[in-house]
Amino acid sequence: MSNEAACIRFPSGNVYFTGYHGCSSAIHNIIFKDKAQLFIDAFTDPEEDAFLETAESYEDREAFEKQRSERKYDDLVDVEIFTPYAGGILWKAKASEGAKVVVSGLSDMDSNATTSYRKCSEWPEWVKETGMPETRSLLVESWISK
């Protein structure tokens, strides 16, 4: 199992990126507009990184996670998520473009609306327009060679 990139398309047509973890069949919940972040750290979480620098106890960590899980977003919409993993997988989820976070449907295994592809020529046109490589999509050279 390997990690790949994932792209998230909002109804506005805006596309964001994040990492897809092959072993867990799930994306990272933090999304970013600049695909260059894929090559720096596809699983980045600045809020958690800042918290961990100041956390003093396990109870602090529990409180932080509880506060994050109870957070409400007023701009949640249905999105499409795609990863080239295993030939290509497309599924539906809910996300906040303002907060740049996916809040449900993090895994293709959680969706009743999953489409699997055998080859990149079958991928949705919006995915092809991102330049998503067929494999090794977390490596910058895979994007450059296209």
Please give the pLDDT value at position 1. 52
Tell me how many domains the chain contains.
Answer: 1
Q: Does residue 5 contact residue 42 with C-beta atoms inside 8 Å?
A: yes
Please give the pLDDT value at position 93. 93
Range of the domain at 119: 3-144
Model-level pTM?
0.84
Q: How far is CA 135 from the centre of its chain?
A: 16
DSSP at 51: H
How far is the C-alpha of 18 from the C-alpha of 83, rounded, in Å? 10
Q: Does residue 117 contact residue 85 with C-beta atoms inside 8 Å?
A: no
pLDDT digits (tens, 9 = 90+) for 61-105: 888 888 877 888 899 999 999 999 989 999 999 999 999 999 988
Of the pLDDT bands very low, low, confident and very high (cuts 50, 70, 90), residue 142 is confident
